[in-house]
Amino acid sequence: MIGDGRVTVDGQVVRRFGARVDPAKQVIHVDGKRLPTMPDLVYFAINKPIGVVSTMSDPDGRPSLADFVADRTERLFHVGRLDTETEGLILLTNDGELANRLTHPSYGVQKKYWAKVPGRIERDLGRRLKKGIELEDGLAKADSFTLVQEHGQQALVEIVLHEGRKHIVRRMLEEVGHPVIDLARIEFGPVKLGRLKPGTLRALTLTEVGELYAAVGL
């Protein structure tokens, strides 16, 4: 990879084999994607179950994300929130800079949701959602909308947004006459929920972490 010019350190292509770098101070990219080099930084995906609050503690004693990482010594941040009745993908990390950028609206990191709603779905619903739905706190636009499946009086739809206002998916769909029955987040930027079962945790791959860095310009 070095011979092919695919490795950079602090923005400069490395040509010399055996070049020494300080992983605590220097930034390494391979094929344009940053490598996580700090050994004390950790990155996890969790499938938050319904009934769990999206915080690292809860003063009311409800189940929280901390219950699933009680054996970890790091101080972990949760990236993004899901309301208590929504399940799905949340990221956990002690990389504060990455966590801040992933949740900041200016970076526009996309999140993909699957929602079960009352059918039938109107043919122009996707166009309306992408054009924007006026809510009490301003216009909300979907980046994409797909009808996944229709069965009887219910439908499964996929909606992608890059903002994270409170209950945004539920409010948008209710405003257009399809109040959410069940809701799950299945993707956060480049990270996919996949087959991760509710209440379980997995470490992100180096590729996933590099793609998260790239998504927020790190």
Q: Which of 83, 137, 143, 182 is catalytic?
A: 83
Q: Is 83 a catalytic residue?
A: yes
Residue 141 belongs to what H/E stretch? none
Residues 15, 5: Cα–Cα separation, whole Å: 7
C-alpha–C-alpha distance, residues 192 and 30, integer Å: 22
Cross-strand bridge partners of residue 192:
187
The SS3 assignment for 183 reads strand
**Calpha distance 76→80 (Å, rounded):** 13
- Is residue 197 within 8 A of residue 89, CB to CB? The reply is no
Annotated catalytic residues are 83
